[in-house]
Each structure stands twice: as C-alpha cells, then as structure tokens.
C-alpha cells in the first residue's frame, strides 16, 4: 500500500484537523486496510487512530433511548447481556457478523461506514463504475450477490447488518460534520448511495460517526440472515424487524432488509400496514409482498426474492416469540 503517516487523536477536534486534507480515520481497520492493500481507494496521506477518543466506546443505557458509541465493538454488542434483553435483534445481528476475531476489533462506526463488498469493486484489476470506470460489470455478468433495488447504475448492496437492524429500531446516527453534530436516520445515512454511483453512504470526507441513539420504544426486535454457509459468511439477504407489542397487536412496527439495495431497504407502506395488526402468517406474508414489490432481479440474483419473502415472514413472526 501507499506509505502514510500515523497519528493518534485524543479529541474529536484534533481528529478532524488531522484527517482534513487527505486523511482517513482508523478504528478497527478491517475495511480500511483491505481497501488500502488492494489500492482500491486513493491512499490517504495519514491514518488517524481514533481508538483513544474519549467517550466513544461507551454504552449509555437510558430509559427512553440507549446510546452506543461508535468505538463499541461488535463483539461487545454480541456479549452484552442487557442488549440481549432490550434489543435482541441487535444482539443477533452482531453475532452473525464475520468471525469472533473480527467482531472483537470491528466497531459500530466502522460497520456502518464500510464500503461495498461487490467483487468487481474489490478486485484489483477491474475498473467498475464505482471506481470511475464506464461499466457495471455485475449488471452484465456475475450478479448473484447484488441488489434487487437501486436508484443508480451501480448494483452493489449495503452489507452492514447493524445498519439493517438500526433501521428497524429507528435509530439515529450522530455524525460529526464540519464541527457540528448532525443527526441522521439510517435512511439518511445511506441515501446518497441510492443515487450516486461512487457513494456507499452519505458521509462526506472528514465526517465521523460518533454514536448511535436507539429509542427503547420497541421492546421486541429480531434479526435473521440467509447465507451460503452457516458461519463467517456475508448475508445473501438480511432482515430486521422491531415493534412494541400491545395486547398482541403491533405498535410502531418497522422492517428493514440488507444486501438487496444500496440502502437499508424499508417500505413505509408496509410498516403502516402492519400497524395495529395481530401477527400471523398471512399478515406477515402480505407485508413481505409489499416490501418486495417492485424488485427487479437480475440474471443471477432472482433467488433473493423468495429468500427475502421468507426471511421477512420469519423475522416478523419472531417478534411474537415464534420462529
């Protein structure tokens, strides 16, 4: 990789200053080092270690909302006994990410900001649309892992399973932008990737995810993914659902899917349809159909449609405490 300087920031202000120009934040490094080693992004002149920024590794457990710092690791989420009770879907999502070793270093902020896993984007010798080329190879060739929905010519999907789950929980990301804290829904955090080929989220250079705020309004949540393998594999489709259940009826239900769109895939009409409903197989299936409506499968990813329909139904039914 290209030679770079290395610095450790002790405050967010100094982190911003250090990274300004041509720098990159370094936390777990899982995504960044892969990009640098393969020369997939213009190499930064400086890596700014943010692991020592104060307060960002904390979990604050409030009555109405929890705050999870960007430096909290995926492994910590997986092992936190209270998260398992309050946000069981989040725990399940964390437990499916990569391997235990990676989960121990991967951070919430890094998981949210990670780049595309499209195998054309990640390949050192293909210059795809996302890398400034003039062809989306996937659209015309090997697209088994790609999106069913997109708002642009790139079909690489968002793969952050935390983002999928945060979307269902209606969590807000707090991002340091130009010295100010900006609040972004998960839809907001990714909306730029829907429209812009080169974007994989809405973060600008220098933006830093500080923490995620999760309302406790939905006491039931669930996450499920389908993969080629049983462990240490990316989701082909992931699904998260969250709601409050009052007298057997759904309150403020939300469903989100990952790996089928450049953004966590959410259909507001389906959420509204589920509001006040008693969950049963038929209701869940109806919601699933609404969520997948308009999907445009490519040559090799049509299997994601039935897979997604099944996952939505199962995840929703899990909110009842049934698989």
Partner 1 sequence: MPSWPEKTKYISKSTLRIDAPEKVTGRAHYASDIQAAGWLYGMILRSKWPAATISAINLEKTLQVPGIKAAITAKDLPQTVRFYGEEIAAVCGATKQACLDALRAIEVTAHALPFAVREDDAKKDDAPQVWDGKPNVSVSARGSREQGAVDQAFPECAAVIEGFYTTPVQLHNPMETHGNTVSWTDDGLTAWASTQAISASRDGFAGPLKLDHSQVRVITNFMGGGFGSKLNGSVEGVLAARLSREAKAPVRLMLTRFDEALAVGNRPSSFQKIKIGALADGTLHAFELDNYGTPGISGGDVELPQPYIYKVPNSRVKQAHVAVNAGASRAFRAPPHPPASYAMESAMDDLAAKLGMDPLELRLKNDSNEVRQREYKIGAEKIGWKEKYQKPGSSPGVVKTGIGCAGAAWGGGGASKRTQGDAQINPDGSIEVRLGVQDIGTGTKTVIAVVAAEMLGLKPEQITVKVGDTNFPPGPGSGGSTTCASISPTVFDICANALQQLQTQSGIADARGNNWFAACKKLGVTPLVVHGQWQQGDPSRPLSSSPAYGVQFAEVAVDTETGLVTVKKIVAVHDCGLIIDTLTLESQINGGIIMGMGYALYEERVMDDLSGVVLNPNFETYKLSGIGDVPEIEITLLNMPERGVIGIGEPATIATAGAIANAVFNAIGARVYSLPITPARVLAALGKVPPFTAVKP
In the complex, the residues that contact partner 1 under the rule CB under 8 A are 1, 3, 117, 119-120, 123-126, 135, 137, 140-142, 144-145, 226-234, 236, 297-303, 305-307, 310-311, 314
Q: In the complex with partner 1, which residue's Cβ is closer, 277 or 300? A: 300
CB of 257 to partner 1, least distance (A): 14
Quote the Cα angle for 36-37-42, to 5°: 30
Q: In the complex with partner 1, which residue's Cβ is closer, 1 or 198? A: 1
Q: In the complex with partner 1, which residue's Cβ is closer, 98 or 250? A: 98
CB of 28 to partner 1, least distance (A): 16
Rounded Cα–Cα distance for residues 61 and 30 (Å): 28
CB of 137 to partner 1, least distance (A): 5
Q: Are 312 and 257 in contact (CB under 8 A)?
A: yes
Q: In the complex with partner 1, which residue's Cβ is closer, 126 or 216? A: 126
CB of 314 to partner 1, least distance (A): 8
Task: Look at strands 65-69 and 46-49 and give their pairing.
Answer: unpaired
CB of 171 to partner 1, least distance (A): 26
CB of 211 to partner 1, least distance (A): 29
Q: Are 259 and 159 in contact (CB under 8 A)?
A: yes
Q: Could you give the C-alpha distances from 165 to 59, 151, 242, in angstroms and in order? A: 17, 22, 8
Q: In the complex with partner 1, which residue's Cβ is closer, 61 or 300? A: 300
């Amino acid at each position: 990789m290209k030679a770079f300087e290395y610095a450790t920031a002790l405050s967010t202000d100094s982190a911003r200053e250090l990274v300004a120009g041509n720098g990159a934040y370094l936390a777990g490094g899982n995504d960044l080092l892969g990009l640098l080693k393969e020369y997939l992004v213009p190499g930064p002149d400086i890596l700014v270690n943010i692991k020592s920024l104060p307060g960002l590794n904390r979990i604050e457990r409030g009555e109405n909302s929890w705050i999870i710092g960007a430096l909290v690791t995926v492994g910590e989420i997986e092992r936190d006994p209270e998260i398992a009770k309050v946000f069981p879907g989040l725990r399940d999502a964390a437990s499916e990410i990569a391997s235990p070793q990676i989960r121990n270093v991967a951070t919430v902020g890094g998981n949210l900001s990670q780049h595309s896993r499209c195998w054309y984007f990640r390949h050192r010798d293909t210059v795809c649309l996302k890398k400034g080329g003039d062809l989306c190879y996937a659209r015309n060739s090997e697209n088994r892992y790609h999106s069913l929905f997109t708002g642009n010519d790139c079909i690489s999907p968002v793969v952050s399973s935390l983002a999928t789950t945060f979307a269902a929980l209606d969590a807000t990301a707090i991002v340091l932008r130009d010295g100010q804290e900006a609040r972004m829904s998960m839809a907001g955090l990714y909306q730029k990737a829907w429209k812009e080929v080169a974007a994989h989220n809405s973060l600008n250079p220098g933006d830093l995810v500080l923490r995620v705020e999760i309302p406790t309004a939905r006491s039931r949540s669930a996450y499920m993914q389908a993969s080629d393998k049983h462990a240490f594999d990316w989701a082909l489709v992931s699904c998260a659902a969250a709601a409050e259940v009052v007298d057997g009826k759904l309150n403020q239900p939300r469903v989100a899917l990952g790996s089928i769109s450049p953004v966590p895939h959410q259909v507001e009409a389906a959420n509204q349809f589920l509001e006040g409903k008693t969950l049963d197989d038929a209701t869940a299936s109806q919601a699933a159909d609404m969520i997948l409506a308009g999907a445009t499968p490519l040559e090799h990813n049509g299997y994601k449609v039935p897979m997604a329909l099944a996952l939505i139904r199962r995840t929703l039914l899990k909110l009842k405490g049934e698989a």
